[in-house]
């Protein structure tokens, strides 16, 4: 069955430290994956998708088919990165969502 | 992207009553989705609402409890019927603008049932 796993409910790092938000997926076929972010009191918004291979707000995510992972990384965390992050997988024209990771950047 | 609005933004309702949530998009879209999100938790898809066809409900959600209308390509409503405190949640609509699987979200409707 298709599934998205975000093993960390909460991740707390200091400002300036590297950040890695983990996402593992289960999918038969070629996956299409997204990262969404929800800042406090804002709507859920798309951060990046794997096929674009862009860096958005300093974040990157690489699809690793061997490890079935799509981890989100940023080399130097900023306080404004504090938010809820969701990994999502396309399946049958819908998105399957991970449980989310709350990222807290400590000053 | 698209501008997506929802009404109401929040409401407090008594058990046994119904609430209709509206979702308006500033461009024509084929696929719209309705989600439920408990605060601080992930999203649960309620149904997919495509214009010109009946909504498709996910397991655990039924039309009698969550009737959906999709009268045109820019508008949809979700009704939460015969509400109980367990229906207290944030309800979100989203759209897939170009069939690209990227979804854009409304601001949500925070529902509290007393």
CATH number of the domain at A78, please. Answer: 2.60.40.10
- Chain B residues near residue A32 by CB distance under 8 angstroms: 101
Instruction: Give the closest of B42, B48, B104 to A86, CB-based.
Output: B42
Q: What is the pLDDT of residue B2?
A: 83
Instruction: Count structural domains, chain A.
Output: 1
Distance CA B12, CA B108 (A): 14
**pLDDT at position A87, please?**
97
Instruction: Answer yes or no: do A94 and B45 touch at CB < 8 A.
Output: yes
pLDDT given at position A28 = 86
- The CATH architecture to which B4-105 belongs is Sandwich (2.60)
Set of chain B residues whose Cβ sits within 8 Å of the Cβ of A87: none
CA distance A100 to chain B (A): 6
Residue B50 has pLDDT above 90, yes or no: no
Put simply, the chain B residues between 38 and 97 with a CB less than 8 A from any chain A CB are 40-43, 45, 48, 92, 94, 96
Which residues of chain B make contact with A45, given a CB cutoff of 8 A?
104-105
Domain ranges of chain B: 4-105
Mean pLDDT of chain A: 93
Share of chain A above pLDDT 90, in %: 81
CA A51 to chain centre: 14
- Look at residues B80, B71, B16 and name the one whose alpha carbon lies nearest to residue B46: B80
The pLDDT of residue B23: 97
- Lowest mean pLDDT of A81-95, B40-54, B67-81, name the range: B40-54
Nearest Cα residue in chain B from A50: B102
Containing structural domain, residue A99: 3-106
Query: What's the CA gap between A64 and A76, in Å, rounded?
Result: 22
Q: How confident is the model at residue A37 (pLDDT cuts 50, 70, 90)?
A: very high
User: Residue A84: its pLDDT value, please?
Assistant: 95
**For chain A, percent of residues with pLDDT exceeding 70:** 100
Span B103-109, average pLDDT? 95
Chain centroid to CA B51: 14
- Compare all CA atoms of chain B with the CA of A99 and give the residue at the minimum distance: B42
Instruction: Please give the Cα distance from A14 to A57 (Å, whole number).
Output: 17
pLDDT at site A44? 94
């Amino acid at each position: 069955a298709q599934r998205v796993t975000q093993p960390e409910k909460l991740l707390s790092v200091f400002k300036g430290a590297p950040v890695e938000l983990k996402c593992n997926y289960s999918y038969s076929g070629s996956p299409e994956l997204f990262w969404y972010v929800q800042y406090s009191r804002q709507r859920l918004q798309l951060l990046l998708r794997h096929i674009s291979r862009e860096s958005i707000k300093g974040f990157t995510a690489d699809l690793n088919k061997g490890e079935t992972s799509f981890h989100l990384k940023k080399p130097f965390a900023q306080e404004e990165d504090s938010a809820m992050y969701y990994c999502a997988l396309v399946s049958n024209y819908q998105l399957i969502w991970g449980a989310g990771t709350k990222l807290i950047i400590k000053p | 992207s698209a501008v997506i609005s929802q009404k109401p933004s929040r409401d407090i309702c008594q058990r046994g009553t119904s609430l209709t949530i509206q979702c308006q998009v500033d461009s024509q879209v084929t696929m719209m989705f309705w989600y439920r999100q408990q605060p601080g938790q992930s999203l649960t898809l309620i149904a997919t609402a495509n214009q010109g066809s009946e909504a498709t409900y996910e397991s655990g959600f039924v039309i009698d409890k969550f009737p959906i209308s999709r009268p045109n390509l820019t508008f949809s409503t979700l009704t939460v019927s015969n509400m109980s405190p367990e229906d207290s949640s944030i309800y979100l609509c989203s759209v897939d603008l170009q069939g690209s699987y990227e979804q854009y979200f409304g601001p949500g409707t925070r529902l509290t049932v007393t």
